[in-house]
Structure 1
């Protein structure tokens, strides 16, 4: 009995070691996303019926003075804000009959009766708040801990590697990667790591002169800080303390915010790059995971310390925000696509076309969810 209790409730056990960190990470990301919808919706004068963390049966909740039901539900895999006039949690377009069933007071504050710009602002606020959360996390971490960096120099070239074949030599310094200027070795890794199989142009500084070479990174399986096996692209160069001259960059509060915005932009760019390559079949399917993988990573991050856990929150927040902007109903990007069409044709998309699009989009979303669940359980 003691062994079972320890396995479940010790800091290394399932409940405190995995489940609690997972719920913390997911709840923070979902809460911030939905709070974006809620705050901007309220600012636009739209009525809110419910703010929910999770789906399914309500565990507990309360009504505020505006009549909004705030609740926590049994299935913690998401959340939603239900506006006045919504007939379901996805805020899909209600039918004419459903809109007509609203009272006059409800129609004035109903989501679907608002001008396009108010609806669009409310919808885009969810992903935007996710990106702002990531910026805030990075800014705090940079302010507290700074950022360790290495000079973008080459201490060693792996024999038979793409770098050796391209003519890169020990002692060279990276100046540009694919036309982008680099200042640290991490910049080089960032610009190369997601480009396996792509010919990349490098500008190197050698003996005071710049030379141009081209190398094609190869995928290599490595273990990340959380113990996960990941495949990244490498060209086969190594840095060291002697040539890299490691140093810690400190930031003022304003400088930390600027650096956080830049880093968030890099994460968004790499996320988009990965999804584009994945859609073309150029990325390993095992790099995508669902709730089980996130739970495992949450437990691993918690063991390393709270700062690792909030870093996971930051990266997951970008992923959630980016995925929600994809132009697929019933995701936020799908809503924005319809509002764009409505703005062009100056009338709402027909109910029939809307219904077909939502059914197709829901099929795609459920298919993707099934895919990542399969990866979690059996595929990888």
Structure 2
């Protein structure tokens, strides 16, 4: 119960910061052009705070922190006459030039990007931990094992790009998988300078059914700093493990009378004894329970062949180092990081539209709260890096040509410029209402996806 409450609090702080930054981008761009701002609202639902300033702006905080807006009326209203417009030299949105209107609309997304750059700049300057790409373990039934990757090897390059940590490796993997190209790896054994070349042939089609979002685990690589322990952490519905009535928390202690040594050998033994009777024992509630299985699978059904996943824990990692840069270099790194992530996110959205089934992989507020809560417990650095990432996400999403988003406002603006007159209010309202319904449906799907995951 405490964890749920904690995650809700962290989620509220995280989402609120995103929205405040975004709406402040619109607000201060409008103020720069001396535009009269009628309302600055955060969230929706019941009002929990309200304040009016001397400029006639009504500041509102509402109960549910999932949105916000800055209202700039086109015409003066009766209730605004009490404010001295001549004194503050206010003008209205419709009095602005076409270019200035665009700048105000782009102010929100631009503010999120700037915020992400600032976060990365500070992190790169004060220092952040990186984990060298040293392999700790390999899954036997995996792509990594098929191409000959082994423990205590370090991945140095991927398609000619130098790799310094697992985060960069994962990003480069995503780039190359999305382009459906073969992936060339260069690895070396620890304390050796001899580079060995390996080639991965992996495509989007071959990973679309997998649940892992981290492609490193998908390949079957367990990085140094993580260790597989023989405790069942997840059981796939309808699998052999479920039919055997194995439970989450069961600990594998031996197989065919031999003590369990490591996950690699366990998988290897099971796979090499296809269609044979195998005996193994688990410990459950301090009692040993024996099981008998006759695994039967083809080369097309290797992944999760028994239908359970082991527990992976963090262990002391001597390969972790603190990386930091001077102020100027940190800014360069920050800009490069933001540009690379922006490209990656855009490519991810493009792939989303190409494959309609990908919408069922979209995450929503529950996932954000869970990830944010987990990260802030482990490291403030990783939490702020995540915060920067979702700021970039929000910036890009808001530029979609969807009526209630900034991209939709730009679309209306350009359309009005082309036809030379304003779009009728009734038509705009109809489009807004339709888009709200679509947005609610998408949000509903993300909630369902989150509930399935957690």
How far off its partner does 1:301 sit? 2.8
| Distance change >3 Å, CA 72–CA 280, structure 1 → 2 | same
Instruction: Name the structure 2 match of 1:298.
Output: 372
Instruction: Say which of 150, 171, 174 aligns to 1:193.
Output: 174
Secondary structure of the structure 2 residue equivalent to 1:123: helix
For 1:47-86, what aligned pairs fall within 5 Å after superposition?
Answer: 47-85=36-74
1:181 is aligned to 161
CA 1:366–1:109: 2 relative to 1, 3 Å: farther
Q: 2:12 is matched with which residue: 6, 23, 26? A: 23
User: What CA deviation, in whole Å up to 9, does each residue of 1:279-334 have, x standing for no partner?
Assistant: 22276555422223323333323322433433332222222211111111111011
Deviation at 1:362, TM superposition (A): 2.9
CA–CA separation in structure 2 for the residues paired with 1:196 and 1:205: 17
Which of the residues 133, 138, 151 maps onto 2:120? 138
- How far apart, CA to CA, are the structure 2 residues paired with 1:116 and 1:127? 18
On the 8 A contact 2:158/2:172 being kept in 1, the answer is no
Offset at 1:62? Answer: 1.6
Q: TM-score, normalized by length of structure 2?
A: 0.63
**CA offsets per residue over residues 326-379 of structure 1, 9 Å max, x none?**
111111011112223344454444557645543443332222122222323468
- In structure 1, stretches of 5+ residues that fail to align are 1-6, 87-97, 223-229
Name the structure 1 match of 2:202: 216
TM-score of the pair, normalised by structure 1? 0.74
Q: Which structure has the larger Rg?
A: 2
Per-residue CA deviations over 1:232-255 (Å, capped at 9, x if unaligned) read 3755567769xx976543211222
Q: Which residue of 1 aligns with 2:287?
A: none
SS in 1 for 2:215: strand
Count of paired positions: 345
Q: Is 349-358 or 316-325 further displaced after alignment?
A: 349-358
> What does 1:1-380 align with in structure 2 at a 5 Å threshold?
7=1, 12-15=2-5, 17-85=6-74, 109-148=91-130, 150=132, 161-162=142-143, 175=157, 177=159, 181-184=161-164, 186=166, 187-193=168-174, 199-203=180-184, 215-217=201-203, 218-219=206-207, 220-222=210-212, 230=213, 232=215, 234-235=218-219, 247-281=321-355, 284-285=358-359, 287-349=361-423, 354-355=428-429, 357-377=431-451
Contact 1:199 1:214 in 2 (8 A): no
| Native 8 Å contact 1:31 1:53 kept in 2 | yes
Shift in alpha-carbon separation, 1:174–1:154, aligned structure 2, 3 A? farther
